[in-house]
Structure 1
Amino acid sequence: MKNFIYSLLQRYKNLGIILRHCDGLAALGLRLYLVPIFWMAGTNKLMHFQDTVEWFDNSDWGLGLPFPTIMATLATSAELSGAVLLAFGLFTRLISIPLIITMLVAIVTVHLPNGWQAIADPNAPFANAQVIASAEKLEKAREILENYGNYDWLTSSGSFVILNNGIEFAVTYLVMLLALIVLGGGRYISLDYWIKSKLEK
């Protein structure tokens, strides 16, 4: 029995050594997941830049942030440059820092009042009062669509849901960025790796 356990531990250790050469795949997966998210967010802000500035500025229906033009410029720049740099795995750890700051600002100013869930699901464990109240609204909306609209066509691309806009997605992106600060761009499949390899020669 002792020899069997030792053999299993040895094989586990050997597996870790073999997989070490594939550890860049995790960083690559995180980077490629985040690229379209930040690219779409950044291009949307850029294409509607004046609206973005007004949203950052207005405390009644927006974020009410100080220096809205500067803040909008920084957020847009971080997201666009972040998407490009993450795509190439260049300065991965460095660009993750302003993206983390952007996520923290979004979490605190936009999503936190709505609780955890991004999509309202009254049956989920973290359902708050706002999400629980959405059940009645969702049912009424379904009833209206079934009676007065082509419900099958409207839901052919996915279920009808109510957006709750909680912190769920933003926190997920934040955790992924924190992982990239530790992992960097990844072995073999990032410019960070090849630049480092050249500098160490």
Structure 2
Amino acid sequence: MAASLNGIPLLLTRLYLAPVMAQAGWQKLANFDSTVDWFGNPDYGLGLPLPFLLAGLAALSEFIGAAFLVLGLATRLTAIPLMITMVVAMITVHWQHGWPAIADAGSWLADGTLLTNESVMVAPEKLSAAKAILNEHGYIDWLTSSGNFVILNNGIEFAATYFIMLMVLFCFGGGRYVSIDYYLARHFNH
């Protein structure tokens, strides 16, 4: 029975990744000039060569790739540029912040065992200060009505997770019965 359901985890992986990639691609496309500037500027951005080309490739890979993931169309091919985008993001944006995406000084990953990042260790102080400012000058109840207020660490955790999920799709495809790839393969193999 498990074998007959093996397309479901691949479908769920595709459906999980699709909105993440679509949002990332849309943000880049909607703010393309500032994205190109950020990709190319070494002072406050990534300092990458050919920023117009790389920003365009990343944005289109993410945005169009999301649609292909939903459909399960060219899943393995779609995963390749998305995996490359995740590796570039991990190295250029997230690596210097260590592993955790959310700052948690209590985490064993934030104590220097993975990467030393002193700013993670002061996260509780930052969080307390931010909450005090919001309590005095802001609308803390409104801001926290949908969840807790947190300090973003911006580590590689999410990009690495997405890379692993994309690697699964690259290795196993879109899934049996739940992807266009499956039906195209059946059609052309008969």
Fold conserved (TM > 0.5)? Answer: yes
1:97 equivalent in structure 2: 80
Which of 134-143 and 145-154 deviates more? Answer: 145-154
For 1:21-170, list aligned pairs within 5 A.
21-127=4-110, 128-170=117-159
Higher Cα radius of gyration: 1
1:76 maps to a residue whose letter is A
Which of 150-159 and 189-198 deviates more? Answer: 150-159
1:186 maps to a residue whose letter is G
Encode CA deviations 1:103-141: one digit per residue, 9 max, x unaligned.
000000000011111111111111142211121111111
Q: TM-score, normalised by structure 2?
A: 0.94
1:5 equivalent in structure 2: none
> Paired residue for 1:177, among 152, 156, 166?
166
CA RMSD of aligned residues (A): 0.9
Alpha-carbon distance in structure 2 between the residues aligned to 1:76 and 1:141? 33
Alpha-carbon distance in structure 2 between the residues aligned to 1:196 and 1:96? 18
2:185 equivalent in structure 1: 196
Q: TM-score, normalised by structure 1?
A: 0.89
2:114 equivalent in structure 1: none
User: Alignment length, in residue pairs?
Assistant: 184
Encode CA deviations 1:62-101: one digit per residue, 9 max, x unaligned.
0000011111111111111210110100110111011000
Gaps of 5+ in 2: 111-116
1:98 maps to a residue whose letter is P
Q: Return structure 1 stretches of 4+ with deviation > 4 angstroms.
A: none
Alpha-carbon distance in structure 1 between the residues aligned to 2:106 and 2:46? 30
Encode CA deviations 1:15-59: one digit per residue, 9 max, x unaligned.
xxx110100001001000000001001111001101010001100
2:164 maps to a residue whose letter is V
Alpha-carbon distance in structure 1 between the residues aligned to 2:130 and 2:143? 12
Alpha-carbon distance in structure 2 between the residues aligned to 1:102 and 1:144? 37
1:150 Cα deviation after fit: 3.0
